């Protein structure tokens, strides 16, 4: 499990998963239905990307996003 604190953490997680799957950015973006520019910006931690697309990509890569209230 990884603690996500910012958009860079999400980008790093997606980059790592893409490489685990042996995909190029072009292949991964095609499989997830987004453009290569969007994919690149996502992996680089751009903060203003559409959250619906980001959540869809996480799901398609087999990544579950779990939120937990801190005690």
Q: Residue range 26-34: average pLDDT?
A: 98
Check: pTM over 0.75? Answer yes or no.
Answer: yes
Q: Where are the domains of the chain?
A: 7-60
Identify the DSSP state of 38: H
Half-sphere exposure of 39 toward its Cβ, with a 13 Å CA cutoff? 19
Q: Residue range 30-55: average pLDDT?
A: 97
Q: Which CATH architecture has domain 7-60?
A: Orthogonal Bundle (1.10)
- The token duo for 17 is 């998963």
């Amino acid at each position: 499990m990884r603690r996500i604190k910012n958009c860079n953490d999400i980008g790093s997680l997606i980059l790592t998963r893409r490489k685990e799957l042996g995909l190029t950015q072009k292949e991964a973006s095609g499989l997830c239905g987004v453009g290569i520019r969007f994919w690149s910006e996502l992996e680089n931690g751009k903060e203003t990307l559409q959250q619906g697309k980001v959540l869809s990509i996480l799901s398609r890569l087999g990544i579950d996003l779990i939120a937990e209230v801190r005690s």
